[in-house]
Every structure is written in structure tokens, then in C-alpha cells.
Structure 1
Amino acid sequence: MRLKAMSFNRILLAAAALAALAGCTDARKDLSPDFGVALRSNLAAQIADPEARYEGVLQPGGDGVRAALAATRYGKNQVIQPAQAATSSIDNKGAAKSPAN
């Protein structure tokens, strides 16, 4: 009786293993061939290339003369002030009035 129980357990274990392996089939066969392309494209657009080089654009640390002049101006407190940024004014004559007004 014990021998039959062991063989039944082995058969049951083998059936469970086969059922588990059946779940490992390729689930992507029903998907479109371009599935995930938009995601990969968006990721590539948002990740900066650390080795990027652009023609005509000064690279950080690439112009030692300009950096030395800037450091000299800074040391003499003669820093070139940036241009003043201006904001636009928006007229809200057509805006809805709040109940408090």
C-alpha cells in the first residue's frame, strides 16, 4: 500500500510541475509587434546622453580663457549682471467675478 502511495505522489508531483511549466509559455504571442515602442521612445527622450556633443555650443570647461576672465571679474566684484527679466501683464477684464464681489 505504501508503494502505491509513493508512486501516486510522484505522479501528482509530475502533473503539478507540468501544470506550472504550462504557465511559462510565451504570453507575448497575442501582442502587437510594436508593443512597448512608445514607452521605450519616451524613456529615450527623457534620459540625457552623458556623452552628448553639439556643434557650435560651448562645452562646460571647454573655454579656459572665458572661465579665467569670469573668475577675475568675480574676484574684483565686477560681475556682469544678467538682463532683467520682465513679466507680461494680463488684463482680466473678461474674468468671471467671484460671489464675494
Structure 2
Amino acid sequence: MKIMNCPLNGPRNISEFVYGGEVKTMPNHQTCSDKEWAEYVFYSDNTIRIITEWWYHAASGYWFIAERHTASDEILKTYDPSELFNQRVDFESKPELAEEQSV
């Protein structure tokens, strides 16, 4: 049985977690092209290295960050997202889209 340490709930069975994707710099959602956004959402580097990832503990609804080695699948460290992020990103419609939707 594989165990992952949840920063909120402590060591838990890996089956309680859902992978959320790699932590990477998000392009500006209002100015980037569709191609740039698709690359951000769908593509990853897929190389052997230590990667920083989003994980979700389904039982508690808690999102956190884990550092994992992609070859060995060893989880090296887990921590609260506040250690990396101190601002919330609000997604608003592009002004031209809001006008089109109101017509």
C-alpha cells in the first residue's frame, strides 16, 4: 500500500488522492492565444525529474502541493499551497465576450 502525507490530514492511503496536474506558471488568461492556453492546460514536459504537482485529498476536499520524482514515483515532500502562492486569481470574461453574451 502506498502512503502519501497530506499536510492537513497526515499519512493517508494513496487511493484517497486525485492528481491535479503540474504546478506551472499560468499565462494571462485574458491576453494569451488559444494555443498558449491549450499548451498550459494539456501539455507537460514528461521528463525524468522531480516535479511539483497539485494533489487533492478527496475525503477532506483539500488541495495541496507535492514534489514527486517521475521515475521512481517517490513523493519527496508535501505542503500547503500558501507556501508558494499568496494571491488568488479571479477569472473574468473578456470584455468582448461579455458584450456578445448579453446580446
More strand by share: 2
Q: What is the TM-score of this pair, normalised by structure 2?
A: 0.17
Q: What is the TM-score of this pair, normalised by structure 1?
A: 0.18
Structure with greater contact order relative to length (CA < 8 Å, sep ≥ 6): 2
More helix by share: 1
